[in-house]
C-alpha cells in the first residue's frame, strides 16, 4: 500500500463513523486507513508512513478507560508495533534524507 497524505480516512467513510453514530467500526492493524497521494515513495517509506498514520489515528481513539473499545485499540496498536514507530521513522528519515516526498509523507502521517 502506498502512503496517502491528507486524504480522508477510509475509516471515516465506514459505517459507524458518521456524525452522531454510536456504532464503532471493527479495528484491525491491516485496515487500510488512507488512499494514495504519494505514488513515488519507496515501498519501505510508503509502508511506514501508512503505519505511522494508523498509529496516530488509533492513539486518538484510546481513552484509557479499559473498555472493550480500548482493548481493541490496544490490540490494533500492538499489531502495528506503534511502540517502535518513532525509532522506525528515524531509520527512514536517515535512509532518505534528501527525499522531500518521503519527508512530507511522514510529516503528513504524523499530523493526521
The model's pLDDT over 58-103, given as tens digits with 9 standing for 90+, comes to 999 888 888 999 999 999 999 999 999 999 999 999 999 999 999 9
DSSP string, 12-26: HHSTT-STT----PP
- Give the pLDDT of residue 54: 92
The pLDDT tens digits for 36-53 are 456 678 999 999 999 999
At residue 39, the pLDDT reads 63
Q: Across residues 21-39, what is the average pLDDT?
A: 49
Query: Residue 39, SS3?
Result: coil
Judge contact between 49 and 106, C-beta under 8 A: yes
Q: Which of 63, 45, 62, 61 is nearest to 108 (CA)?
A: 45
Residue predicted with more confidence, 39 or 32: 39
Amino acid at each position: 500500500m502506498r502512503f496517502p497524505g491528507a486524504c480522508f480516512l477510509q475509516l471515516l467513510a465506514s459505517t459507524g463513523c458518521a456524525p452522531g453514530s454510536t456504532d464503532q467500526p471493527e479495528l484491525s492493524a491491516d485496515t487500510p486507513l488512507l488512499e494514495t497521494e504519494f505514488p513515488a515513495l519507496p515501498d519501505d517509506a510508503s509502508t511506514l508512513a501508512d503505519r505511522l498514520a494508523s498509529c496516530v489515528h488509533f492513539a486518538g481513539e484510546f481513552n484509557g478507560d479499559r473498555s472493550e473499545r480500548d482493548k481493541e485499540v490496544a490490540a490494533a496498536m500492538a499489531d502495528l508495533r506503534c511502540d517502535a514507530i518513532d525509532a522506525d521513522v528515524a531509520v527512514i528519515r536517515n535512509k532518505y534524507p534528501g527525499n522531500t516526498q518521503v519527508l512530507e509523507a511522514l510529516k503528513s502521517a504524523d499530523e493526521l
